[in-house]
Amino acid sequence: MRKLDRYIAWNVLAAMLVVLMVLVMLESLFSFLGQLDDVRANYEPLDAMLYTIMLLPKKVYEFIPVSAMIGCLVGLGSLASNSELVVMRAAGVSLWRMVWSVMKPALLMVVVGTFIGEYVSPVTEQIAETQRSILRSSQGTYSGEGIWHREGNEYMYFNAVEPNGVLYGVSRYKFDENMRLQESAFAKRAIYQKDHWLLEDAVTSRFDGEKFVEEKATIQPWDTSLTTTLLKVVVVNPSALSISGLRTYTNYLDEQGLDSGEYDLAFWTKALQPLSIFSLVLVGISFVFGPLRSVSMGLRIFSGAVTGVIFMIVQNLLGPSSLVFGFPPILAVLFPISICMLVGAVLLRKAA
């Protein structure tokens, strides 16, 4: 019986990996072609290629749920097309045992996805975004390529960020309680020194009640609660952060009295991704034993792709809706997962 379990698991796992590789390669190709339109300044086609390569772990992480489902349909469907599943059931192998055999490679995909999403993808995307911003940024006060950050009544803009503690093109704007500008400042670079920041070539303009007074300094200390740990979070989009990084930055935003809804949504999306994988695989299994038992392989792949796309669309629509209408982000993430699990369970029960 163990040989049978391994046979089913290896067929499904191989199909999952092939589907994942195809989807990632196609997405990376389109991404690279899109980057070619943004080539300018020191950002050349070779840099665009390196940027695309550095984002491969992110693409792998994003496509694991859909790849697991389509791979399940392909791998298990090939066994069904060859009547191997019928023979197995006739030999006394229960449906739920075969379901468990398929869930084993899904569990492996969960482990791999969690590792990539927590330890690999955030690092590679930080490096990629940092290098891209540095190559494309200018020395002016605003390049359109950088990052905005808020701390109390002070708004900051960085042309480019190195997470290890270097900022390029630092613009700062301080406002009073009535949101009137009190001070503006610009520095070519800021370097983190253990527990404080130093601004290089800083120019500060302060409002003294009647006019702005300008001050210049080659080196100037900068008092802020922004640390290199937070920089690693600020430099990338919420969807690319690790679960621990999302929790750290969410707590920071709450301390600052800022809205953390977008990061809460990203946290629950990543934290519940294992459930997303299992729910989609369960639907794939139920399709093979149910309505797609005797159809062609092409139709199975098409059905899996459509189901996966619908799942992603629903999740992507409900997520922002939770921020707009104020319901908990966890409900937005759990809703499509629950629907998939319900559909899969009902279809499998009919097939049993």
Residue 138, pLDDT above cutoff 60: no
Residue 202, pLDDT above cutoff 80: yes
Residue 140, pLDDT above cutoff 80: no
Q: For the chain, what percent of residues have pLDDT higher than 70? A: 92
d(CA 292, CA 78): 12
Residue 274, pLDDT above cutoff 60: yes
Mean pLDDT across the stretch 115-133?
86
**Count of other CB atoms within 10 angstroms of residue 89:** 15
Spacing of C-alpha 8 from chain mean position: 31
Residue 21, pLDDT above cutoff 80: yes
Mean pLDDT across the stretch 84-99?
81
Q: What pLDDT is recorded for position 278? A: 93
Q: What pLDDT is recorded for position 352? A: 65
Alpha helices in 37-145 (DSSP H): 45-54, 56-81, 84-90, 95-115, 121-136
**What is the end-to-end Cα distance of the chain in Å, rounded?**
19
Q: What pLDDT is recorded for position 81? A: 79
**Count of other CB atoms within 10 angstroms of residue 349:** 11
The angle subtended at Cα 217 by Cα 212 and Cα 223, nearest 5°, is 85
Out of 12-16, 74-78, 146-150, 288-292, pick the least confident.
288-292
Mean pLDDT across the stretch 150-167?
82
Residue 144, pLDDT above cutoff 70: no
Q: What pLDDT is recorded for position 97? A: 85
Residue 44, pLDDT above cutoff 90: no
Which residue type, as a one-letter code, is found at position 332? Answer: A
Residue 163 pLDDT level (bands cut at 50, 70, 90): low
Give the model confidence (pLDDT) of 208-238 as tens digits.
Answer: 767 778 888 889 998 888 877 777 676 667 7
Give the model confidence (pLDDT) of 306-350 as tens digits.
Answer: 888 888 889 889 988 988 888 889 999 999 999 999 988 888 888
Out of 138-142, 248-252, 303-307, pick the least confident.
138-142
Q: What pLDDT is recorded for position 235? A: 66
What residues does each domain of the chain span?
A: 147-237
DSSP state of 240: G
Q: What pLDDT is recorded for position 294? A: 66
Q: What pLDDT is recorded for position 291? A: 67
User: Helix and strand tally (H, E) in the chain?
Assistant: 12, 6
